[in-house]
Amino acid sequence: MTIHKEGYTSIGLAGLLVLITNGLARYFFSDMAWLTTTWLVVSLIFLLIIVQFFRKPTRIATVNPKHIIAPCDGKVVVIEEVVETEYFKGPRRQISIFMSPINVHINWNPIAGVVKYFKYHPGKYLVAWHPKSSTENERTTTVLQASNGVEVLFRQIAGALAKRIVWYVKEGQQVAQGSEMGFIKFGSRVDVFVPLDADIKVNLNDKTTGNITVLAELK
């Protein structure tokens, strides 16, 4: 396990903050050992939380052209038939995964194929489980087209804490299943839209492991 490149600046700033605040605490409150010790413990826990958030586990996807793999770690909070209005403009099966601050926040491509469509949407920062977060929050929409023509859409959605979405794809790009697609900083969500005839392999409240868990199997 290593640290993801998106975390270098945040971890550096957090480490600097810990050093400065502990230095100031010892300078101004040198006669209050209980206070300086308490702050040292609290600040180190804060730094540890930041570091663990940007961890990068080593995961190798089992490539299967019929499988749609989970693009992120988290918990399945939605499985339902919906009308997708941005790209398909028709019915699809939606699988939504909520990512808590303690999850790995790397995003992976759920299938291999060509990036048929990509768009970034600035927006609000509603809590990630809010029903309108999929259409009103800061988000990206990516559509991958497999070699057999099947298309899968997925959205990175910012949460109440997440205020920066990072992506590494562009329209026309060929991507491998399980390759890194992007990163969402802090609490967030990913929605995946699959064909109605896809065989769903997860249930509500299931925990997903990004790049490993099979969400659905294509016909």
Q: Catalogue the active-site residues.
A: 188
Report residue 186 as tokens: 């802090």
State the residue for tokens 């019915």.
91
Report residue 93 as tokens: 């099966």
Backbone phi and psi for residue 200, each to the nearest 5 degrees, phi listed first: -70, 130
**Pairing, β 180-184 against β 67-69:** unpaired
CA angle 215, 6, 181 (to 5 degrees): 35
- Contact indicator for 74, 97 with CB cutoff of 8 Å: yes
Sequence letter at residue 107: N
Distance CA 15, CA 27 (A): 18
Distance CA 171, CA 105 (A): 23
Report residue 170 as tokens: 């562009």
Distance CA 142, CA 113 (A): 12
- Contact indicator for 99, 192 with CB cutoff of 8 Å: no
Neighbouring-strand partners of residue 96: 78, 191
